[in-house]
Amino acid sequence: MSLKRILFLLLQVTISIVVLFLLFQGVNFEDTLDVFALIDLPLFISSILFFVLSSLTVGLALHTTLKSCGVTIPLSSSISASYGGQLLSDITPAKSGYFATSILLHELRQVSMEKGLMSVMAMGAVNFFIKAIFSAVSLIYFLNRIPPDLMDPSLANALLIGISLLLIGGVGLTLLVWTNYMPSLIMKLSNIPYIGKLFRKLEPILEIFNKDQSLLKKSVKKTALLIISSIFIFTVGIFLLSNAVDMSQPSFIDLLFMGPLTAVFMYVPVTFAGLGLQEAAYVFLLTSIGALEPNALAFALLVRILFITTDLVGLPSLIKTGTGLVDVFNTKSKKE
């Protein structure tokens, strides 16, 4: 690992710690511990099930794009690889670890890296667009829901930046996966002296992408429906969780918009999957609509914990393919 990458990781860890420290400074931690002690266990366990189902639906979306590329593997393998990718995304900047799902598919079921990456990127494009649209609507909703004197302009600006990143990601992946613009651009860039050889290495992959474009387009509607279903299922989960920590103030509609909006921070490459930033956004939005700070903080921390722990379903696939993952990343490091 290069010195630059190590310093960047240390910077992200530092920012996460500072944000969490400031968050804890603003809330009575003893009161937050009392909220944890009085948590409604049946509701808490029910929320866990919906977190699992939400991630499961993402796995179904991946299986749909794989089928459209002509990849026929058991549904359980698609879901296992997706869970492994989601677990990696929980601990990587901008949730970039999910792109390693193509490596897991290759190691688990010998799915070609090109078709695996194509499927992951196709699903990612749909996911980014839907999350960006939900987030934009959510921002408008909360700008009207929260009293003007309580709305922090810096938070609104940060959310706009996050939403813009989602839109840029969605547009970029769409250009690559579903249009002929990107292949022609790569061909032009490959003629540039010195750096052209780097782009020429992408040509074999782009040829496969071109063959699968028409097939992938047929899966867009089903993939979009599954991503939207995942958002609604997740909302049920956090609604149950909010009641489990005795926080009755946010309505189901509040949380439906709050989930995608706070998730925007997970795609900002400043901390690991938005650690600290997402929690701060949850606390701010919840307290702005009347929730108590200790309950809001307990809720935000539990959302993060459940994100990671429920994605541990993908740990066996990571362990099983660990050598393959290490080999790929080592190869990349040597090339760099």
Taking the C-alpha atoms of residue 100 and residue 106, their distance in angstroms, rounded to an integer, is 10
- Using 50, 70 and 90 to split pLDDT, how confident is the model at 177? low
Structure tokens that stand for 200 in this block: 């020429």
For the chain, count helices (H), then strands (E).
16, 0
Q: How far, rounded to the nearest angstrom, does the alpha carbon of residue 21 sit from its chain's CA centroid?
A: 24
Tokens 């867009």 -> residue: 220
Of the candidates 70, 107, 81, which has an alpha carbon nearest to the alpha carbon of residue 208?
Answer: 70
Q: What's the pLDDT score for residue 44?
A: 96
**At 265, is the pLDDT very low, low, confident or very high (cuts 50, 70, 90)?**
confident
Q: Poorest-confidence range of 100-114, 185-199, 232-246, 258-272?
A: 185-199
Give residue 41's pLDDT. Answer: 95
Quick one: pLDDT at residue 328? Answer: 44
Full domain range(s) for residue 171: 3-335
The SS3 call for residue 93 is strand
Lowest mean pLDDT segment, chosen from 76-80, 207-211, 292-296: 207-211
Classify residue 98 by its DSSP letter.
G
- Cα-Cα end-to-end distance for the chain: 9
Residue holding tokens 């860890």?
13
**Which of 1, 3, 7, 8 lies closest to 93 in space, CA to CA?**
8
The better pLDDT of the pair 330, 197 is held by 197
For residue 322 the two structure tokens come to 């660990």
The pLDDT score that the predictor gives to residue 336 is 43
Calculate mean pLDDT across residues 250-265.
89
CA separation for the pair 255, 62 (Å, rounded): 25
Of 95 and 213, more confident: 95
Mean pLDDT value of segment 48-63: 94
Q: Could you tell me the pLDDT band of residue 277, with boundaries at 50, 70 and 90?
A: confident
pLDDT digits (tens, 9 = 90+) for 62-92: 999 898 888 889 999 999 999 988 888 877 7
Q: Could you give the number of structural domains in the chain?
A: 1
Per-position b or e across 134-150, b if 16+ CB within 10 A of its CB:
bbbebbebbeebbeeee
Tell me how far apart the alpha carbons of residues 159 and 36 are, in angstroms, rounded to a whole number.
29
